[in-house]
């Protein structure tokens, strides 16, 4: 888990500064045919078409949440807890799970729980979702698009009531903050009935991180889910006073129909394996929108003392969390950060060599485009 966390906080793509990337693109642009279709406009149009195809927009205010659902589609809803970094973890794994299940990820907004007012930020206000969809083909629908006006818009709806599998409470049975509050999704008109997953479907015992493949296999087996809910009408699980009510109330969970198109997991966070796959397929393709990049650039100009009009030098960004260096269980050794930065330098050197090699084969003017990665400064950030 420590190595996985160390990998997450290395923001690899930040090391290729945007103006430098633009110079690379503009150098190669002369190789493309004149009149090439605007790639950005095409990405945006394709993304809008995807959104319109996975969630319906009724001409009149719907009476039931289910009227938003497209017949034949499958959906995955996730909840969240913690700060920005934790919530990003949840969304990354939710996107990966949706990809593996062939489902549409229904994503709640980021919530700044550490600040007054619980300010909301939708995922498409922070990350370039048209670009993400273009790179991955993973379908994600930001739930704020249904709940633009907050609770007022959803109070007249018959809510979408879902059984929600809590793998976090299974992993941390003594944590009083888990599972995440079901009310977090109320503003979207979604009502959750929490339940532990079938213990025989999870290869790790309660109290240990779950294996990602176990989660995906359980979500793929609707018959097993329905059977497990029926079994638990006659016994209360888990045997833990902290989780007796209202988080776990098996007797009142509606029967799970096998054709129910929407599934829910509380938050995929304490996951033992699957990080490398998730990062390769999902994480590295989630890029910040221009406004976030500009805010970062303004800060970096001050940090590096770069005058306006000049490029900020390339750098490597490492995200440090407040508990990373504590000498307790779960801390990350400082050597992990050092080793991962060294790996990133090697990866960037290879990418740079590949770019220059491709330009040579294309007979483009060859020149050094970037400072050698071994000389990149390291910028540390934190959300604590």
**160-165 β-sheet, strand order:** 140-142, 104-107, 75-78, 262-265, 160-165, 190-195
β-bridge pairing 75-78 and 262-265 = parallel
Q: What's the CA angle centered on 81, arms 159 and 284, to 5 degrees?
A: 105
Residue 14 confidence (pLDDT): 39
Q: Are 256 and 263 in contact (CB under 8 A)?
A: no
**Nearest residue to 379 via CA among 325, 299, 311, 323:** 299
Percentage of the chain lying above the pLDDT 90 cut:
41
**Nearest residue to 348 via CA among 358, 340, 337:** 340
Residue 363 confidence (pLDDT): 63
As a whole number, the mean pLDDT across the chain is 80
Residue 206 clears pLDDT 70, i.e. is over it: yes
Question: 273-310 burial string, b = 16+ CB within 10 Å, else e?
Answer: ebbeebbebbbebbbbeeeeeeebbeebeeeeeeeeee
Residue 103 confidence (pLDDT): 97
pTM as predicted = 0.80
- In this predicted model, what pLDDT tens digit does every residue of 16-58 receive, in sequence order? 344 434 433 333 333 334 344 588 999 999 999 999 999 998 7
Residue 23 confidence (pLDDT): 35
- In this predicted model, what pLDDT tens digit does every residue of 230-256 receive, in sequence order? 887 665 555 544 544 445 666 677 777
Residue 330 banded pLDDT, cuts 50, 70, 90: low
Q: Are 180 and 81 in contact (CB under 8 A)?
A: yes
Residue 251 confidence (pLDDT): 66
Structural domains in the chain? Answer: 65-280 (3.40.50)
Residue 114 banded pLDDT, cuts 50, 70, 90: low
Separation CA 39–CA 61 (nearest Å): 35
- In this predicted model, what pLDDT tens digit does every residue of 168-197 receive, in sequence order? 988 988 888 888 888 889 889 898 988 888
- The larger pLDDT score, comparing residue 319 to residue 307, is at 307
- In this predicted model, what pLDDT tens digit does every residue of 150-170 receive, in sequence order? 444 545 778 888 889 999 988
Q: What are phi and psi of 127, to 5 degrees?
A: -120, 150
Separation CA 109–CA 30 (nearest Å): 40
- In this predicted model, what pLDDT tens digit does every residue of 59-75 receive, in sequence order? 677 888 889 999 999 99
């Amino acid at each position: 888990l420590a190595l996985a966390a160390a990998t997450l906080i290395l923001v690899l793509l930040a090391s290729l500064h945007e103006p430098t990337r633009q110079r690379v693109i503009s150098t190669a642009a002369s190789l493309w045919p004149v009149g090439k279709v605007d790639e950005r406009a095409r990405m945006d149009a394709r993304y809008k078409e995807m959104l319109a195809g996975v969630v319906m927009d009724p001409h009149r205010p719907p009476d039931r949440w289910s009227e938003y659902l497209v017949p034949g589609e499958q959906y995955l809803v996730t909840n969240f807890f913690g700060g920005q970094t934790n919530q990003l973890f949840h969304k990354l794994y939710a996107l990966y799970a949706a990809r593996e299940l062939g489902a549409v990820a229904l994503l709640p907004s980021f919530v700044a729980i550490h600040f007054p007012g619980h300010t909301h930020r939708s995922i498409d206000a922070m990350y370039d979702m048209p670009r993400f969809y273009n790179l991955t083909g993973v379908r994600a629908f930001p739930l704020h698009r249904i709940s633009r006006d907050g609770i007022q818009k959803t109070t007249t709806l018959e809510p979408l009531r879902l059984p929600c599998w809590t793998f976090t409470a299974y992993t941390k049975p003594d944590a009083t903050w888990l599972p995440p509050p079901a009310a977090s999704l109320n503003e979207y008109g979604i009502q959750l009935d929490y339940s532990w997953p079938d213990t025989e479907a999870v290869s790790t015992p309660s109290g240990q991180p779950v294996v990602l493949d176990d989660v995906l296999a359980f979500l793929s087996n609707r018959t097993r889910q329905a059977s497990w809910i029926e079994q638990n009408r006659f016994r209360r699980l888990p045997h833990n006073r902290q989780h007796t009510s209202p988080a776990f109330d098996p007797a009142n969970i509606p029967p799970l129909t096998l054709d129910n198109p929407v599934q829910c997991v509380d938050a995929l966070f304490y996951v033992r394996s699957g990080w490398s796959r998730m990062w390769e397929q999902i994480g590295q393709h989630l890029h910040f929108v221009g406004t976030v990049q500009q805010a970062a650039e303004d800060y970096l100009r001050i940090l590096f003392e770069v005058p306006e009009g000049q490029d900020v030098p390339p750098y490597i960004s490492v995200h440090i969390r407040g508990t990373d260096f504590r000498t307790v269980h779960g801390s990350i050794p400082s050597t992990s950060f050092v080793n991962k930065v060294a790996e990133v330098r090697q990866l960037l050197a290879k990418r740079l060599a590949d770019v220059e090699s491709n330009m040579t084969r294309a007979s483009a003017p060859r020149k050094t485009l970037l400072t050698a990665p071994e000389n990149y400064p390291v910028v540390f950030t934190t959300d604590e």
